[in-house]
């Protein structure tokens, strides 16, 4: 499984043991959890800022059942993630990220994407979060880095295609 926005949302939900609805992509048109019927005291915004490959693709073979082999390429990447905590417990949650390196539950969640948390920075800083009606509250932010391995199966089959048709004719 790859480290992407969908999988990261699930990982954060499991780490904090909160409903996935309280974890939102940091994107202007994403919904505000305070609009939900059950309003959270605190919610989490997240965004993968980049995935930097740090190795060349490495060809691997793995023996499967019945003496068959599965072929794949793998690339090691470093993902830079931006976490934002909004609400009453935001400062405590942001400061708590610095303990993730020692938490087994965090390690277990990151293993689902072949990842490891890097002991790099994890500084917590505050920012203004703008709510509708020109109201602001203080949010707390943390940048984290995850080293992970992306694998692509290469059993001499065609890769899955990406649909790029259906655009607007100019």
Q: Where are the domains of the chain?
A: 5-153
CATH architecture of 5-153: 2-Layer Sandwich (3.30)
Predicted pLDDT at 25 = 92
Orientation of helix 5-16 relative to helix 104-111, angle to 10°: 160
Per-block average pLDDT, block size 10, for the chain (170 residues)? 95 95 84 76 94 88 68 91 94 97 98 96 91 80 97 68 66
pLDDT for residue 85? 96
| Calpha distance 148→110 (Å, rounded) | 8
Report whether 146 contacts 110 (CB < 8 A). Answer: yes
Q: What is the pTM of this model?
A: 0.82
Distances (CA, A) of 139 to 29, 48, 94, 111: 18, 18, 9, 29
pLDDT given at position 160: 66
Q: What is the pLDDT of residue 133?
A: 67
What's the residue count for the chain? 170
Do 2 and 8 contact (CB within 8 A), yes or no?
Answer: no
Instruction: Identify which of 3, 2, 80, 96 has the alpha carbon closest to the alpha carbon of residue 44.
Output: 96
The Cα 14–Cα 20 span in angstroms is 9
């Amino acid at each position: 499984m790859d480290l992407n926005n969908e999988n990261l949302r699930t990982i954060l939900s499991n780490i904090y043991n909160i409903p996935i609805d309280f974890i939102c992509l940091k994107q202007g048109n994403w919904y505000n959890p305070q609009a939900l019927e059950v309003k959270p005291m605190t919610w989490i915004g997240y965004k993968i800022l980049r995935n930097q490959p740090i190795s060349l693709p490495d060809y691997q073979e793995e023996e499967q059942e019945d003496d068959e082999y599965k072929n794949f390429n793998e690339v090691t990447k470093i993902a830079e993630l931006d976490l934002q905590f909004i609400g009453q417990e935001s400062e405590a949650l942001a400061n708590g990220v610095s303990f993730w390196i020692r938490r087994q539950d965090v390690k277990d969640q990151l293993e689902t994407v072949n990842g490891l948390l890097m002991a790099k920075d994890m500084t917590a800083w505050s920012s203004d979060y703008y709510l509708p009606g020109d109201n602001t509250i203080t949010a707390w932010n943390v940048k984290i880095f995850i080293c992970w391995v992306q694998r692509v199966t290469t059993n001499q089959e065609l890769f899955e295609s990406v649909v790029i048709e259906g655009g607007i004719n100019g």
